[in-house]
Structure 1
Amino acid sequence: MAEETTPKILSIQSHVVHGYVGNRSAVFPLQLLGFEVDFINSVQLCTHTQYKKVTGQILKEQDLTDLFEGLKENGLDKYDYLLTGYVGSPSFLKEILEVYKHLKSANPGIVFVCDPVMGDNGQLYVPEELVPLYQECIVPHAHILTPNQYELELLTGFKISNVDDCWKAIENLHMKGCKTVVVSSSDLGKNGELLALASTLNGESCQRVSITLKKKQAIFVGTGDVFASLMLAWMHKTNNDLKVALERTIATLQAILDRTLECAKGKPHTPENLELKLIQSKRDIEKPQVILSANCSTRQ
């Protein structure tokens, strides 16, 4: 890929010294797929929080301001994408919005991809004050949102008990200004299954895509960060073909999880043994083998 056509991404999310979560999960796949990635770490921790001892630092909004001011002064503020993940404080999230507004002034065509990391399985693991900020300040600006089922409920205030509820919640985000919503995981499938759902606005119509996949018998960390980065990459590389992008994202993620489980076979499912095998999955990232086909429909 010629240098002048290489898409540039600014990724703002968490970082760990050991393991794969946040930027450690997102940057490598994006680079493999041909993207230039600059990244700012919202937190820097020794490991993710499933380990028994977690130490590190949390960036404050002034730290983000200082880093971004340096980029601006050096003329390095032209990006094709802004990707955001875990943010631990309301003030930091507000500063991200200011960064996005500047990036949009520098490149009106920039695409904002937001993984609204707030919680999972009914448990909130960020300050409650972040929820209304995502609802009121981030959703109207984001082009692509990748919440899980619980985060979709938080963003909309809707209780999601079935697939119809999920589509209604997604429509609510469309009405608030977000063009594409991809629910990375939901418990709306049959027993032992997960359901991924995605929707994008095309003028007056809405394309809906869904994929059913089997649950893995383990708890992984960092999968949402990989998912968001892959969706960004494949939406770009397929000219926003939602069906193909979701199929390739799911294919890659399933291959990574299968390899992670294979490497952990016969071992206890500790955080260390279940760290994602990203490096070992290089070929699956570059050339995913699609096994699960997506269902696709159009709603007027």
Structure 2
Amino acid sequence: MNNVLSIQSHVVFGHAGNSAAVFPMRRMGVNVWPLNTVQFSNHTQYGRWTGSAVDASELIRVIEGVGAIGVLSRCNAVLSGYLGAPEQAAAVVEIVRMVKAVNPKALYFCDPVMGAASGCIVEPGIQEYLVTTMPEISDAMTPNHIELQKLTGRTIETVEEAIEACREVIARGPKIVLVKHLIDRNSRADAFNMLAVTENQAWFAQRPLYPFARQPVGVGDLTSAVFLARTLLGDSVREALEHTLAAVNAVVKTTYEAGRYELEIVAAQDEIAHPTESFPALAMHVE
């Protein structure tokens, strides 16, 4: 069985970070070792929360403990998401090095969470680390539209421009860039776009965009987790993208139909593992 070390936030109430990623990966048959970067009462887009970040040195000590019992080599992938302090970014780099030292085939998937105008709060200094350091050590990165612009320092308005930006990131290290939410000026207003790019492939796919009064949080964390799980389970880039889009659509659709704000991950769990709707990915060609 595949094992993922998932280094993300934890919220006691709701679904964000590890609280949105761990259960879906397990439901798909991938074992998860959660390492929480923060413990918050709830996600930050409520505008108020309690809790604190875990000391960066403690993160490393925990993984040293895993190594001390001789099982770190069983880790097939590291997934990092929300970080509570810049020092934690340095700790993630060290943890990835520790894992790859005992299992060179292990993958590192970096979800470069950099905050958003909608209320996701990220400490100063984290963005700089994600932009300057993480691409070089990542096997895959999963930015959203804004994060891809920050990674490349360019404005992106079309699928073609996004593919070029992804290839710019790929040139720095990652083999795959998954754009979890792409804003394309040529797409329908009611479409939610995703894009998966490698050095020589690019796949574009869409699902419905549901008209929430306020969009639920944790969709990106869920997306990265499902895509990583399907990759470990042997999917091609296209297959992983299509499964991810269908699974996430099922969760978001269930959430919308229930009139909820927090993701209905448990209610949609069967659809996460075996989606009944499909959204085919289209091959894109950019000269």
Q: Which amino acid aligns with 1:296?
A: A
Cα separation, partners in 2 of 1:114 and 1:187, compared to 1, 3 Å: same
> Which residue of the partner structure matches residue 203 of structure 2?
209
Once residues 40 and 255 of structure 1 are traced to their aligned partners in structure 2, the CA distance between those partners, rounded to angstroms, is 27
CA distance in 2, matches of 1:258, 1:212: 14
| Matching residue of 1:148 | 144
SS in 2 for 1:50: helix
Matched, 1:220 2:220: no
> Is 1:16 aligned with 2:11?
yes
Alignment of 1:84-123 (within 5 A): 84-120=80-116
CA deviation string 1:139-180 (max 9, x = no partner): 111111110000001111111122222111101011101100
Moved more, 155-164 or 10-19: 155-164
In structure 1, the residue corresponding to 2:169 is in which secondary structure? helix
CA–CA separation in structure 2 for the residues paired with 1:52 and 1:85: 20
Deviation at 1:108, TM superposition (A): 0.3
Report what 1:268 is aligned to: none
AA aligned to 2:210 is K
For 2:66, give the aligned amino acid: L
- Residue 84 (structure 1) shift: 0.6
Give the deviation of 1:240 after TM superposition.
Answer: 4.3
Q: What residue identity is the alignment partner of 1:250?
A: L
| Structure 1 unaligned spans of 5+ | 1-5, 265-272
Separation in structure 2 between the aligned mates of residue 132 and residue 12 of structure 1, nearest angstrom:
19
Q: 4+ runs of 1 displaced by more than 4 Å?
A: 121-124
Q: Does the C-alpha gap of structure 1 residues 240 and 180 become closer, same or farther in structure 2, counting only changes over 3 Å?
A: farther
Letter in structure 2 aligned against 1:152: L
1:72-126 Cα offsets, whole Å, 9 max, x none, are 2222312100011101211110011001011101000001111111123698732
C-alpha distance 286-123 of structure 1, shift in aligned 2 (>3 A): closer
Letter in 2 for 1:132: E
- In the superposition, the TM-score normalised over structure 1's length comes to 0.89
Q: Which moved more, 1:133-142 or 1:119-128?
A: 119-128
Which amino acid in 1 is paired with 2:127? Answer: V
2:89 maps to 1:59: no
Rounded to whole Å, the distance in 1 between the matches of 2:161 and 2:115 is 19
Counterpart CA distance in 2 for 1:130 and 1:53 is 21
Corresponding residue for 1:294?
281
Equivalent residues of 1:82, 1:110 under 8 A apart: yes
- Cα pair 1:207 1:299 within 8 Å, conserved: no
State the alpha-carbon separation in 1 of the partners of residues 48 and 121 from structure 2. Answer: 17
CA contact (8 A) 1:211 1:293 kept: yes
Q: CA deviation at 1:136?
A: 2.4
Which of the residues 190, 193, 204 maps onto 1:192? 190
1:199–1:122: structure 2 CA closer, same or farther, 3 Å change rule? Answer: farther
Provide the residue aligned with 1:283 in structure 2: 270
Deviation (angstroms), 1:52: 5.0
Distance 1:52 1:127 in 2: 15
Q: Which residue of 2 aligns with 1:40?
A: 35
- The residue type equivalent to 1:259 in the other structure is T
Aligned with 1:182 (options 174, 178, 181): 178
Percent identity of equivalent pairs: 30
Instruction: Please give the secondary structure, in 2, of the residue aligned with 1:274.
Output: coil
Query: 1:73 and 2:68 equivalent?
Result: yes
Q: 1:45 to 1:125 in 2, by over 3 A?
A: closer
What RMSD over aligned residues (CA atoms) do the two structures have, in Å?
A: 1.7
